[in-house]
Amino acid sequence: MARTENHSSLGDLFYGSVTLGERGQVVIPSEARKRHGLEAGDKLLVFRHPHVRGLVLARVDDVQTLMKELQEWVDRVSSMTEKVRAKTGSRS
């Protein structure tokens, strides 16, 4: 999954504005496509932002990689939790 650096300013996060076409299409600004390695034909998932009225786009491959990494983290935490429970005799 492509990693991006932490952004500290709005200028680093904002790529411009787009207009929603009649068929619901938008053009992702060239700078954003280049910076994030987006190419014609890439499959993107569209998510509703959980806190504001907005959308988040993510490459399918990147989301799958993120889910795999999160599952590995959950598995490690679960294993550690079980070891602690076994040592302390805790059941909760």
- Chain mean pLDDT for the chain: 86
Alpha-carbon distances of 90 from 75, 78, 79, 84, 86, rounded to whole Å: 19, 14, 14, 8, 7
pLDDT at residue 1 above 50?
A: no
**Residue 28: what are its φ and ψ, rounded to 5°?**
-75, 130
Q: Per-residue pLDDT tens for 51-75?
A: 889 998 999 988 899 899 999 999 9
Interatomic CA distance for residues 70 and 35, integer angstroms: 25
Radius of gyration of the chain (CA): 19
Domains of the chain by residue range? 18-88
What is the distance between the terminal CA atoms of the chain, rounded to a whole angstrom?
Answer: 35
pTM of the entire structure? Answer: 0.61
Nearest 10 degrees: Cα torsion 19, 1, 46, 64: 170
